[in-house]
Structures are given as C-alpha cells and as structure tokens.
Structure 1
Amino acid sequence: MRTVVVTDPPRADVDDAATLGNHGVATVHEALGRTGYLGPEFRPAWPGARIGGTAVTALCWPGDNLMIHVAVEQCRPGDVLVVATSSPSTDGLFGELFATALVRRGVRGVVLASGVRDVAELRVMGFPAWSRAVSAQGSVKATPGAVNVPVVLGGQTVHPGDAVVADDDGVMVVPRGDVDRALAAARAREEKEAATRAAFEAGELGLDRYGLRDRLEELGVEYVPYEKWTP
C-alpha cells in the first residue's frame, strides 16, 4: 500500500449527486442496469436517511482509524466519506465525534466497510451512516494508509469524486463519468414507474401490463380448475 493523501481530486457535481440521492438506490441501480450496488451487508445505522454525495475515500488498517482523521481534512460540503480497510474488519472505526467534525465541514454521510458505533448519538444528530457492522470495539491511531485513492467495498470500486447514493435499501456508487446518464435513466424509470403505479391503482394486473401471460404459456404454466386438479 502506498501511504499517500491525494488532494482535490475532481468530483461529480454535488447537486447532481444529491438529485441521484433523491431518486434512491433501487431506482438508480435498476436504471443503470443493476450495477454499482455494494450489497445487502451495508446497512444504515438508523432508518430513514437518504443521501447522495461525492466520495472522499479512506483506506485504513483493521482496528485503526488514523486515516479517517486525515480524510476529514480533505472533505468539503456535499461529500460522503467512504472508508475501506486493507483486510476485513468489523471494529467501530467511526462514531459521534467524527460525525461532529464532518457535520462542521458539510459532509452528507459516511459509508464504512468496517463498523460504526455511537448509533444513538448519530440518530439524534441526524448524521447518516452505513456500515457492515455496529460495534463498540474501539480503535487505535497507529498505521498509515491512504486517502482519495480507489477503494473496494462490497466488490465495487469507488473512486474519489464518484457519486455515492445511500438509503434504507443500501448503498451504491455511480462513477463520476456516468452521473449524467444515471440522472437521465433514473428520471425515465421514475416516469415509467409512475405510469405503472397509476395502472395498478386502477386495477390493471402486472400479468397484463408486463405481457406475462404469453410468457407463462411459453414456460408451460397451466391454469387448472380445482375440481380437476390432482397432485
């Protein structure tokens, strides 16, 4: 690992990232062809948070949050701090004091491949956090890592400046160069879903709206009256 702090990397537009956050993880994920999702392990510390921001990345050693302190200085309004570890860790590398510092800098939330603690305080503060674990296990500040380098969380590579979208459904990353496409695709998907919602409210069935009856026939699914059915 090269112990380096990369300063002022290019970022996606923070307003565009926020708009992606308003669309939500499920919509953006589907709109982009089901890519970028970090997986079901990343859960919010408290329910109801929804954010979209630009990534500042930190690579730490397990049980060591030194580089989070370094990364805080590199954060600016509209960012999301994304923390990876060099090997698997569930230690509580982030808590209320870090959140206090990030709020002061206008950071929208944090995503951790490790653990988070001080959950009650984070909820009261309204500071959004997603992690793989909740753990009171503390950390040291001893080993150098890196800031604003590509990191991998949940099998997805996050580059500094990428858009990060997170809500109750989890977390996903949108590469900086794909943000415009993601916005257009998410808007189109929401319009399509609004039309489908209205159709369902009017009583139309998904079998008919999605043209699934012919598909069922192709798959050999039969409709049999109960009195003629035998196991």
Structure 2
Amino acid sequence: MEHTEIGVVHTSIDRADPEAVAALSAFGVATIHEAMGRVGLMRPYVRPVYPKARLCGTAVTVLLQPGDNWMLHVAAEQIREGDVVVAACTAETEDGFFGDLLATSFRSRGGQGLVIDGGVRDVADLADMDFPVFARAINAKGTVKATLGSVNVPVVCANALVRPGDVVVADGDGVVVVPRERAAEVAVAAAAREAGEADKRARFRAGALGLDLYGMRGPLAARGLRYED
C-alpha cells in the first residue's frame, strides 16, 4: 500500500466497539495474533521503550515526514479517551519524534500510548509517567515542524496496515493490529484459545509431553524418526 493523502486531517473516524476493545485488553499479543489467524503483527523491531510497557486502544493514525513531528501535535487534538496514536513515516527514519511533553499532551486527551515506526526520547520520563511507547528506536536527535503529513488516514506502520479506529495491542511480545470490524470476534477467539492453553498448561505441569498432547508420535514415525537404545 502507498500513502496517498498528504495535508489532510480526518476528524470523524469509526472506532472499534468499546466493549470489544476492553475484552481484547485482557489478552496478550501472541494470543490475539494466533486467534486472528496468525496475522496482524508489526515487525519485531518495534519495541517497548521501558520494561513492562503495555497498551490497548483504538488507533488515531499519523503519517509523518522524516525529521518532522508537526503532525503529532496536530494529532493530539484528535485523540479521544481510549485512543492509541500510531505513527508511520513516508521514509525510514529513527529521529526522536516524541518525548515527555507530547506524552503529557496525549495523556491529557485520554491517550493510552504511542506506537511509532521511528525514534523517541525522554525514555526515563516516559517510564516515570508510565506512558507506554513502542518505537523503532530511542534517539535523542530532535525534529522540526515544517512539512505536512496527515492524520487519520490508513498507514503502513512497520509493515502492518493500520486504519483509524482499528484496535492496537502491544506488550513485550510485539504489536498486533485488529481490524475494527473483527474486534468482537477476535476477542471471543482469544478467550477460547486462552482457555485451551490453560488446560494444556495444567497437563504439562502434571508431566504430560507435547509428543502425546499434540499427537506428534505418528507423524514423527512416518517421517522416519527412530529411537535407538
């Protein structure tokens, strides 16, 4: 997908159902990714900037220009309670687009965090604030405010398509994007998957082997695996 809209702010977006977002918040990224059919992940280079950062919310999307954070300030006005800002860039960049001042602004609007395919700074302050940020890089290099991007347009962030209002969940395992129209369905599937994993966990704790639990012995034998004493 190519970014096509420059210089536009869409002020009305369709957000995922709040109850579905709340349901998804109970699950980890790996569970949601698997429950959704093993899709939706951002590239693994997008990492939490402090330990145990976690977020879940509806996306306000931003398209940035390299070395320019103007549109993050524009995006602040569009944040509603429960939103996560997701920022992509027109070209690969690691500049420090975001720090504690913007985090303070985002939080005052109800923002739940930031996911950015770029750099951020002031990470000690972000950790003290417990404002979750997932970023490509930590970089003290500053940015300017000179070139237009867009807000609330579809973006590709770290190889994942994110539309305004989609659900974004991030934790230590990465970042996953759930299309807004699938949020309720995926939450149900994630709950079912987690229940199944709880049963397997109990059986593993009791000494069961994956070889038997997953019916691996027959396929292994068919491939020619031999046991020799």
Normalising by structure 2, report the TM-score.
0.96
Q: 1:200 aligns with which of 201, 204, 213?
A: 204
| Residues 1:82 and 2:63 are matched in the alignment | no
Q: What root-mean-square deviation, in Å, do the aligned CA atoms of Structure 1 and Structure 2 show?
A: 0.9
- Mapped partners of 1:219, 1:153: distance in 2: 41
Structure 1 residue runs without a partner (length 5+): 226-231
Helix, strand or coil at the partner of 2:26: helix
Fraction of identical pairs, as percent: 53
Structure 2 residue runs without a partner (length 5+): none
Partners of 1:45 and 1:130 within 8 A in 2 = yes
Aligned twin of 2:97: 93
Partners of 1:17 and 1:165 within 8 A in 2 = no
- Mapped partners of 2:225, 2:120: distance in 1: 48
1:55-107: per-residue Cα shift (whole Å, max 9, x none)? 00010100000000000000011000000111111001011000001111111
- Mapped partners of 2:163, 2:140: distance in 1: 29
Q: 2:73 aligns with which of 53, 69, 90?
A: 69
- Mapped partners of 1:149, 1:113: distance in 2: 16
- Mapped partners of 2:25, 2:175: distance in 1: 10
Partners of 1:150 and 1:160 within 8 A in 2 = yes
- Segment of structure 1 superposing worse, 164-173 or 213-222: 213-222
- Mapped partners of 2:53, 2:6: distance in 1: 34
Structure showing greater Rg: 1
| Residues 1:130 and 2:172 are matched in the alignment | no
- Mapped partners of 1:58, 1:198: distance in 2: 44
- Mapped partners of 1:114, 1:50: distance in 2: 18
Aligned twin of 1:60: 64
Aligned twin of 2:194: 190
| Residues 1:23 and 2:27 are matched in the alignment | yes
Equivalences for 1:142-221 in 2 at 5 Å? 142-221=146-225
Change (3 A) 1:127 1:15: farther
Q: Structure 1 residue 17: deviation in Å? A: 1.7
Equivalences for 1:6-21 in 2 at 5 Å? 6-21=10-25
Aligned twin of 1:43: 47
Q: Structure 1 residue 53: deviation in Å? A: 0.3
- Mapped partners of 1:202, 1:90: distance in 2: 47
Aligned residue-pair number: 225
Q: 1:139 aligns with which of 121, 133, 143?
A: 143
- Mapped partners of 2:42, 2:223: distance in 1: 33
Q: Structure 1 residue 13: deviation in Å? A: 2.0
